[in-house]
Amino acid sequence: MGKPVVLVVMDGVGWTEKDMGNAVLHAYKPQIEELMTKWPHTTIKASGTAVGLPSDDDMGNSEVGHNALGCGQIYSQGAKLVNESIESGAIFKSAAWNGAVSFVKEHNGKLHFIGLLSDGNVHSNISHLIAMIKEAKKEGIKEVRVHTLLDGRDVPETSALQYIDQLEDVFKELNDDSFHGCIASGGGRMTTTMDRYEADWAMVERGWHIHVMGDGRMFSSATEAIETYRKEGGYTDQYLPGFVVGKDGVPAGTIDDGDSVVLYNFRGDRAVEISKAFDYMNKGFDKFDMPKKPNVFYTGMLQYDGDLKLPDNFLVEPPHIEHTMSEFLVNKGIKSFACSETQKFGHVTYFWNGNRSEKFSDELEDWVEVPSDIIPFDLKPWMKATEVTDYMVEAIESGKYQFLRCNYPNGDMVGHTGNYEATIIGVESVDLNLRRVMDACKKMDYTLLVTADHGNSDEMYDKGTNPDGSPKPKTSHSLAVVPFAVYNGPEGTEVKEGDFGLANVAATVVQLLGFEKPAEWLEAIIK
C-alpha cells in the first residue's frame, strides 16, 4: 500500500503564457508557482477529444472533465453524443421523440423547446434545436414554440441577438399555412430556469411562470426584449431578466394541456431542476408553488440523472460510464473523502462517479458539501475556499482516509462573471488555501496532486474592445492545457514525457496508492 493521496482540482485554472487577460498568470500564487517549478510537474489536456468532445476546437467543461478524472477513460460526451444521434437519425426513432410527437398530434397541441440558445457546445447547440424543429414540421407538427435561455457565458457575453436572428430566420423559412413556429419566452441563464444543485430554486420558479404561464414582462419580440433590457440595465446576456413574447397582452405560446415539452440541453447539472418540476409536479413537488400544472409530455435531450431516472423520457442515451475510480477503490476497501461547495459539489460526487448520484459505499465514501452563497461571485471571489480547506485539512489530519479530493470553484465561477480583477482574487484565494493543504499533506506524509478541469480564468478578455476602449470581457472557458503537479510524492517520483489528459489522472492516483490500474484505463502520468 502506497501513501494516501489527496487530489485538488482548481476549477477553471488553465496554464498558458498567452495573455488575453490571464488572471492566472498575473495572480500572486506562490504555492502554484512552487508546485509547477520545484516538484514533478507537467501540463495536461482538458478540452476537445481528450475529454470526449467532437473536436479539439471544443472547450472542455467541468462535467466532462470530472467524468474523465473519475473514470480514467474517454467517452463520447454531450454534443458529440447528440451529433452522432442526429446524424444517424436515431434521435428521431427514439421512444421519447415519437412520444412527444404523438402526444401533440393526439391532443392538437404545441411542441415546445426549452434550452440554452447558443453554439457554445457546453450545455447545448442551436444546431440541435434547428434540426428538431425541421423534423417536427416534416412529421406534421403544426405549432412549435421556443423558450430561449440566453448564454453570454460559453459564448461572447452580448452575442444573444446573433442566435435570436439565426432562429428567427429558420422560422421565416419554415412558416407557412401548415406550420407556425416562433419564440415564446426567454431570459438569461443565470436568472431563469437553469439553476443547479438546488442553489436557487427561485430561478426555476421564474422560468415556470415565464415559460409555462406566460407570466412576465411582455414584448413584441425577443429582440425587443433584449435591446430594451440592455438599455435599461446594461445587462449582459446571462443576467438578462425573463421575458414573454406576445401581442395585446396575449402570450405567443404558454405551455398548456396537450402540449409536449423538449428540454434540448444535453448537459445535466442545470437541467435537473426544471426536469424535476415537470416530472414531479403531480408527485409531491414542493420546491415552489405551481399555480398551473399542465398535462404535458416532457422529455430531456439526455437522462440527466441515472440514479433518479430523471427525466422519465429522454431522446439520446447518455454515455454508460463503467469502471470508475470510486468503484475500483471501494472494491479495494479504500476509504475516501470528497468535498466542495455547492457550485461544484456534484462534480466531485455525481460526475466523478460516472453520472451516479449515490455512493458506491456509504461505509467507505464520505462527502461534505459547503453551502455556496447566493451572490454574484465577483462580489465575493474568495467564495467558500477557506471552509472547503477547513474540511480537507481536518479530514487529512484525521488519518481516516486513503484518498481525498476537493474542488475549488473560484477560477471558474468568478471567471464566468467576466470580472478580471475579481478573478485574480479568486485565483489568489485558491493559492492561499493550497498552502494549508500542502502543509497538512507534509505533516501526515500524504501525496498531493494538484490539477484543474479546464481553462477559464487564464483568458478573461475577448478579441476587440468596448466602445470606451476597454478590453471586452470573455466569460467562456478556454482551450488551455491545465497544470498537473505532484507534491510530497514517493521518493523518485517522476513525470513521464507524453501527451496526457485528464483521463490519465485516475491511473496516477491508484498507482500512487500501490495498485495496478484496470485494463480499461489510460496510463498513469508518473513513472
Question: Which residues are known to be catalytic?
Answer: 62
DSSP string for 248-283: TTEES----TT-EEEE----STTTHHHHHHHHHTTT
Bond from prior residue into 311 cis (ω within 30 degrees of 0)? yes
Task: Give CA angle at 368 (366, 369), nearest 5°.
Answer: 150
d(CA 36, CA 438) in angstroms, rounded, equals 14
Report yes or no: 243 and 278 within 8 Å, Cβ to Cβ.
no
**Phi, psi torsion values for 159, nearest 5 degrees:** -105, 5
d(CA 327, CA 510) in angstroms, rounded, equals 12
For residue 328, which of 65, 76, 70, 6 has the smallest C-alpha distance?
70
d(CA 243, CA 184) in angstroms, rounded, equals 9
Which H or E element spans position 54? none
Report yes or no: 338 and 405 within 8 Å, Cβ to Cβ.
yes
- Cell numbers placing 327: 468503484
d(CA 52, CA 61) in angstroms, rounded, equals 11
The total of other beta-carbon atoms located within 10 Å of residue 18's CB is 11
Report yes or no: 223 and 186 within 8 Å, Cβ to Cβ.
no
For residue 126, which of 148, 142, 96 has the smallest C-alpha distance?
148
For residue 263, which of 301, 308, 297 has the smallest C-alpha distance?
301
Residue 60 is given by DSSP the state P
- Cell numbers placing 151: 448564454
Which H or E element spans position 452? none
The total of other beta-carbon atoms located within 10 Å of residue 492's CB is 8
Q: Sign of the C-alpha dihedral, residues 416, 419, 422, 425? A: positive
For residue 271, which of 311, 231, 239 has the smallest C-alpha distance?
311
d(CA 155, CA 418) in angstroms, rounded, equals 12
